[in-house]
Structures are given as structure tokens and as C-alpha cells.
Homo-oligomer: A and B are copies of this chain.
Amino acid sequence: MSLLVLGTVALDDIQTSNGVKQDLLGGSASHFAMSASLFSEVHLVGVVGKDFPKRHFKLFDLKRINVESVQIKEGKTFHWVGQYDARDWNRAVTLETQLGVLDGYEPCITEEQARMKYVFLANDDPEVQMTLLKKMKKPRFVGMDSMNLWIELKKDALLRLIKCVDLFVANDSEAKMLTGELNLIKAARELRKLGPRFVVIKKGEHGVIFFCDRFLFSFPAYPIDRVIDPTGAGDTFAGGLMGYLARTGTLTCDNFKRACLYGTTCSSFNVEGYGVSKTAPLTLADVHARLRKLDKFIKPV
């Protein structure tokens, strides 16, 4: 089943203790699409500037990611400059943000895309996310992600959007910030009251917790001893999760577990390299090989 993802397509500059990299392919939709495209046909919705390097379009093409609804506008591609401290890879420090063509962007999709059943609203302005969602005709399953910036700047718009989705994917600090609850289990419960039937809390190196009315489960992250750049790990996780759901189409406990394990596995590759350098060349065989190790790592007995 096809999967439509709206989100940012960015050029990232990343500074870590491992060094500095510039103009990496980044953005929530790019990272999401890298892993989701392993499982499903992915249609990317977003905007870039005229400066967007052709090699990145080539990569999308190579990954069979449909970019017909990626607008190319006069101006500069959204640019993010971020920094990580190796003592806390879970927290990115934003040094600079240049919105560029994101400013005033309105998503447009084709008739065919509007009828797609699986939709993910990757981190973006919640008003832009809502605009896209309103263009969808009876989607079967809608997931979304956001970030602290939107909780601060556009909380009302964000809450309106959350009410309309099936799955809300948040990291632990966002979940606490949005609900005012310090306990994650309570925070997830509050998030579900805002609308979504399904909530996933991402905890970076500590893994994920999944909540719905019938079950909850938790998996640790795959153990990585050399983190290079965690940018996009959460988007990569969501891509694996949604890609697997769109491929399999069932909303059972076991299927959500499998989806989260695929997401966890994909994101473990993401953090091992800058940008999409480790997720772009990934094959399903790579993912399965690591998933088998992950299964062993977390299986009770």
C-alpha cells in the first residue's frame, strides 16, 4: 500500500564531537522516506529551493521515492544548523534555522495521492500539516510527529491536529511538555485523551513505549557503541513503523510490535552515520539481519 509523507526536506549542517558536516540531506520527510521506502511505495510532499542539489533528487529516485509533489521554489532550501554534545545525544541544540522556501509553503498533492490510505505528517508547521490532511480523502491511518518548537509557538493548531490523527509519535520531552505530566506513562495516557488511539513515545537510546487502549509494550533501542549523528533517528523510526504498517495493513498488537521493531532497527542504522549516509544504502536484508540480533537482545527468555 502506498504511503504519503509530508514534512521538511532540508539541508543540514551538523556539529558533533566527531566533526562538522555541511549541506547534508536532512529534514523530517527525507529521513522518514529513507526507511519507509524499504517497505512501501513512498510519496514525499514538501518543498525545496532552487539550490537543492541534484544528487539528492537522484537519491530519492534511486530509492523509488515519488517526488512529484515536492515543489521546487525560487529561494533557498530550509537550512538547519545543529549541534550535539556526546554526553546527551538525545538533545539537539539548534544553532541556526533558515526557513527559506518553507516560509509560506502550501502543500499540493495529486488526485491519486489524495486517495492514499496511509499518511504520515512528519515534523512540520502544524498548520501546514493540517492543510495537507484536509486534502486527503478518507485516509485509513494517519500518523504524525511534531517538535518542541511547535508546542511553544503553535500549541492550539497542534492540539487541533492531534485530535484528527490515529497515531501520535512524540519523544519523551515533547510528551511531558505537551501534557505537563512528568511521568511518561501518565503523559502517554493524557496524549491519548487528546485524540490519537495510538501513541508512541520515543526515548532515544532507551528505546520506545507504545500505548493504546488494549495493550502497551516497550522495546529498548538496539545497542550502538558509536553514535555519529542522531539527526533524524526519530523520523527514521517513524518511517520504518509506518512503512511496515502500510505494507501489512493490520492494526493488531503483534503487527504494531513488529512495526516498532522495524522502526527501531532502521533508526539504529541512522545514528551510525551523518545525515542519511547509513540509511540511504540500506536493504531489507540488512534490516532483517540486525532485526534478528535485536530480537535476541530483547527477548525475555
Contact = CB atoms under 8 A, between A and B. Distances in A.
Contacts of A189: 225
Interface stretch (A2-10, A57-65, A215-223): A215-223
A186 interface: yes
How many copies make up the complex?
Answer: 2
A226 B301 CA distance: 28
Given A182-B86, A184-B205, A300-B299, A220 B218 contact: yes
Given A183-B226, A185-B223, A189-B225, A218 B301 contact: no
Contacts of A300: 219, 257, 261, 294-295, 298-299
B223 A220 contact: no
Nearest to A258: B301
Interface string A188-226: 010000000000000101110100000111111001111
A293 to B, nearest CB: 10
Given A209-B220, A258-B301, 6 more contacts: A86-B183, A184-B205, A185-B225, A189-B225, A218-B223, A298-B298
A227 interface: yes
Nearest to A217: B297
Nearest to A215: B296
A217 B298 contact: yes
Interface string A64-94: 0000000000000000000000110000000
Given A189-B225, A206-B203, A296 B217 contact: yes
Given A87-B182, A184-B205, A205-B184, A298 B225 contact: no
A254 interface: yes
Nearest to A218: B220
A91 to B, nearest CB: 13
A9 to B, nearest CB: 31
